[in-house]
Amino acid sequence: MKIAIFGSGGVGSYFGGLLAQAGHEVAFIARGAHLQALRDKGLKVRSVHGDFDIPRVTATDDPQEVGETDLTICTVKTYDIGVIADRLRPLMGPQTALLPLQTGVETPDALTQHFGSAVLGGAVWVVAAVAEPGVIQQQSQFRRIVFGELDSRETPRLHTIHEALANSGATVEITGDIRKVLWTKLLFIASFSGITSVTRAPAGPVMACVESRLLLERAMREVEAVARAKGFQLDDDVVAKTLDFCDKLAPDATSSMQRDVAAGRRLEYDAINGAVVRAGKETGLPTPVHEFCWTCLKVVDSMAR
């Protein structure tokens, strides 16, 4: 397949590297020092699943140089989604599938406004970051992608994409209910990221404190309530299972947004906590924990800008 990775940071470069290693024609859309390193030295991946180097890769900051693709995987930060449509357009042909892998539940609909049925829904679980320009550090045993059609159909392109990703070494699943998957992930990400980012504490202290653990549970209940009000049938025990997952995290585990707070970087608070607040207003349900996190992190983000 001819594949473009639009937003070749840690996540995009890692999965793009797997696909290139598996023999697909992969173009990395990147910028800055990382782009220059990809051009000069290729891609180096340091991973718990095994290191590999790809000495020569196609890397550019101009999608027109790539042209129409079979699959474009979009991994830019959510705060850039509103301004990337024109840059994505050269990659989009009549048969192109667009797979966004951002955190949050609103991105697929935002992209659908521009690209219609080309857009799939997707969720990703992986820990990968740019360790230095041209070098990706992948640290998690999990490297999982779940994706599906937004209208729940089963289509031939799903199986083509599944085969490409699965053969690259990733754990890949097709789902007939990608909205449920996205909201289930948001229940964890928005709640854990919000609480840890506001407290600037890792999992251990948050879960050990009775009051902060209760606040985390309240945040999860808010997401569950608005998701159900919007018609998404989350599992009955989704909060209990997610809390159990949080209890088993390493005591020093942090959320990516918390790490961005510590580093003074821009935050994805609006796509994460803001999505819950907006859903609450839409459904008429209160979301006080997420509104508090969203407001506090908005101030932090304004300082980072």
- CATH number of domain containing 290: 1.10.1040.10
The DSSP symbol for 50 reads: -
Q: 149 and 158 in contact (C-beta within 8 Å)?
A: yes
Q: 29 and 6 in contact (C-beta within 8 Å)?
A: yes
Q: Domain boundary residue among 144, 176, 208? A: 176
Least confident range of 103-112, 207-216, 281-290: 103-112
Q: Where are the alpha helices (DSSP H) in the chain?
A: 10-21, 32-41, 85-88, 107-115, 156-167, 178-199, 203-208, 210-229, 238-247, 256-263, 269-283, 288-304
Euclidean distance between CA atoms 37 and 136, whole angstroms: 12
Residue 80: pLDDT band by 50, 70, 90 thresholds?
confident
Residue 305: pLDDT band by 50, 70, 90 thresholds?
confident
Q: What is the pTM for the complete model shown?
A: 0.93
Residue 154: pLDDT band by 50, 70, 90 thresholds?
very high
Q: Domain boundary residue among 128, 154, 176? A: 176
How many helices, marked H, and strands, marked E, lie in the chain?
A: 12, 12
In this structure, the answer to whether residues 154 and 90 fall within a common structural domain is yes
* Domain residue limits at 224: 180-304
